[in-house]
Amino acid sequence: GDSVTQMEGPVTLSEEAFLTINCTYTATGYPSLFWYVQYPGEGLQLLLKATKADDKGSNKGFEATYRKETTSFHLEKGSVQVSDSAVYFCALDNNAGNMLTFGGGTRLMVKP
């Protein structure tokens, strides 16, 4: 079946550091890929998405590129802020009626 693997956290960075959170997936066909973010005490919210190979999703300074050849969708940000501290989830939708398969989540902690 489909699966999503994320790097384990926590990831601890200083403010203005470069961020990469790795995500790889296993799926048949051509899934859509997502990054969701969960701020402390809140539910998940969509951060960005990409629906086909080589698409780049971007939002709030975060980017991720859909790499079919490496089955990856790594999340990057050039300069993190304390307010980016959250748990980040990679997910895929294999055209199964919006039923998403989620990775285990990666906690990011940004220190001033």
* Cβ closest to other proteins, residue 84 vs residue 93: 93
Order of strands, sheet of 56-59, starting from the edge strand that comes earlier in the sequence: 19-21, 75-77, 62-65, 56-59
Q: Minimal distance in Å, beta carbon 22 to other proteins?
A: 15
Q: What is the rounded CA–CA span in Å between residue 38 and residue 29?
A: 28
Q: Minimal distance in Å, beta carbon 16 to other proteins?
A: 28
* Cβ closest to other proteins, residue 17 vs residue 109: 109
29 burial (CB, 10 Å; 0-12 / 13-18 / 19+) is exposed
Q: Which residues here bind other proteins, judged by CB under 8 A? A: 4, 6, 8, 32, 34, 36, 41-46, 49, 51, 89, 93, 95, 97-100, 102-105
